[in-house]
Amino acid sequence: MAPSAGPALGQPMSDAGTWWLKGAWLDLGLGTALLTVIETACQRYRTQANAPLLRIVTHSPEVLVRKNETFAFLPLFENMTRPRHLDSYTDDGLSWLTEATQVYRAVTIEGYLSDLTRLGIAAPLGHAFARCYWRAWYHPGDITDAHVFYVDMHDKVIWTNQPSPVGFVSALHEVHPCLKQTFVHGRGGHALFCLTYAADVHLNEVVVAVAQQLEQAIGRPVVQVIVTDREGLSAEVIRTLALKNKGFVTLLKANQYASEADFVRRGRFRQIKDPRTRQTTHRVADADFQLAPGLMVRAALLYDLDHPEHLIGLITTVSREQEPDIRRVVGWYLARWNAQENSFRSLIAFVRLDTNFGLRAKQNVPDRRVAKQITDLTNHLRAVTHKLDTKIAQLAEQAHHLEKRTAGYEQHVAQLVRPSRQSERPSTQRAAQRQQQLQALRQRHHQHLLKQVTRQAKLEREIEAHRQEQTRVTQELTQLNPQATFFEVDPEKDQIVAHLRIALHNSALWARDHYLSSTYRHATPLTLWRTFFNQDGFYCEMPDRIVITLKPFSDTQVQREAVAACERFNGRRITTHSGKRIEMCVADCI
């Protein structure tokens, strides 16, 4: 039975429901994984010769855990997003949640984050967290089609006046300096892995590498099918994945087909139903499509019933032997919105994924934009020069041919006009034949000359155009500085923060999946925050346990749900790093 109001409840605590999230963080093994990664990095750092002393290498495990949790959990209190917001935070909730005697100040956590960056923990941390997520959700085999993964990029805009790499930011429909975070999501909608790239990197350049990184983290090949949006499409990606025996599903670009006539249909149209509403939403037919010379791929002719006039071309390397029903393959792609796009929205709303960190850590590197321009122009100049040389050679060959042909003509004419031998009697008939031959010869020669002059004029025009293009490209090349540089952000710090924010988001999903009932199966972390996690209550620390008593909820149904969630939570017997068991309950009345 829940306790009644009184001094035994402990000290009032704002957002006491955050203990569900800390329990999930511990339940997932994220705290232990983070601590292990840091301790390993500190040991490696100590072996480096002449390395400057970092304060972090002197910390005990208890201090490391408190600082880790302070930075990881600060977004849960008063909308804090950065360490500097700690200086204006005056409550005790965060210190109790992290079992610290008092809340750390901004300078302490900022210094700690800088030390983590110098230790270079982003890569091993991403791998360690990926293993935690995989063990928790996918290793048990409870998720349908767990062999299907979604890869996409999230753009984080960088506002700077410095020359920087730029990329297209889909949310703004503009080109901006930014960071490209490449995510791998599982079929269940969980962000499993993330790598940060520069703005000028495209998805089709890294989709295979990111999937390989996830498999390295897990320790075995688990990715059988990769689903991306159109940006991930390239013939090279398809060939590479085929060599690795991995399937690929994506949409064709709009300029790659015009109608059903561009496809070879392999079956009748069939209906697709939404798995949640059971309403028919699409119709689809199996087909083949010539993606590139020598590359025929399986395709789907897809129509959205809300826009029946618009053909959507989907391609896949999943063979008919592997999956006979094209509807299932299309279903994997249609699920991308819930599995990945909605996850991006949720990460932005709940843990402020768009917040940048470490932008001051810029590296002056060769300007890849200028280097690409120089490469493209050099290749173009080489092609133009080759065309020019070819045309000049053709013109010289034509002049030689014309000279030879003219000499032959003159010799032939001379033979025809030469007087007859004395032994031969003049013949009017023979003279007429010669005159006729001479006239035909002159006519053929005139026609040939006309053809040659026309061709010569065309070659001269082409030569002049190539010379003008050669001059233009040469001038453009001389205006480019091959030594040009731009500023590129070192993504290490931002990558560390991204891993921690994803971990906090996934903790909310774990709490939803294991503490709450199926009623909230599809609720977002932000909805759960507003309903459960931000509930105020009381904090009571005892020698062997920490008891959190939540204030009663105004909604009776939510009250019953919260009581049941506390019972499930307590049944998992979760303990903090200090060894104290966490117990949660909901008061009947206060």
Cα–Cα dist 313/303, whole Å: 9
- What is the number of other CB atoms lying within 10 angstroms of the CB of residue 174? 10
Could you give the percent of the chain with pLDDT greater than 70? 97
| DSSP secondary structure letter of residue 275 | T
78, 99 contact by CB (below 8 A):
no
* pLDDT of res. 404: 83
* pLDDT of res. 349: 95
**DSSP states along 571-590:** HT--B-TTSPEEEEEE-S--
Q: pLDDT tens digits, residue range 476-523?
A: 999 988 888 878 888 999 999 999 999 999 999 999 999 999 999 999
Q: pLDDT tens digits, residue range 161-207?
A: 777 888 888 878 888 888 999 999 999 999 999 999 988 899 999 99
Q: Which residues pair with 547 in a beta bridge?
A: 540, 583
What's the mean pLDDT in 149-165? 88
Q: Which one is predicted more confidently, 417 or 444?
A: 444
535, 20 contact by CB (below 8 A):
no
Q: pLDDT tens digits, residue range 40-79?
A: 999 999 999 888 899 999 999 999 999 999 999 999 999 8
* pLDDT of res. 3: 43
Stated as kind and residue range, the H or E segment containing 282 is: strand 280-292
* φ/ψ of residue 166, rounded to 5: -125, 160
Q: Which one is predicted more confidently, 370 or 239?
A: 239
- The structure tokens 């709009």 sit at 254
> Which two three-digit tokens encode residue 57?
């290498």
Q: pLDDT tens digits, residue range 516-543?
A: 999 999 999 999 999 999 999 999 999 9
* φ/ψ of residue 476, rounded to 5: -65, -40
Cα–Cα dist 196/190, whole Å: 18
Exposure pattern of 368-382 as b/e (b: 16+ CB <10 Å)?
bbbeebbeebeeebe
Computed over every residue of the chain, the mean pLDDT equals 91
Strand runs (DSSP E) across 293-340, as ranges? 295-304, 307-316
What's the mean pLDDT in 364-387? 88
- What is the number of other CB atoms lying within 10 angstroms of the CB of residue 470? 16
Q: Is the pLDDT of residue 590 over 70?
A: no
**Burial of 406 by CB count in 10 Å (0-12 exposed, 13-18 middle, 19+ buried)?**
middle
* pLDDT of res. 413: 77
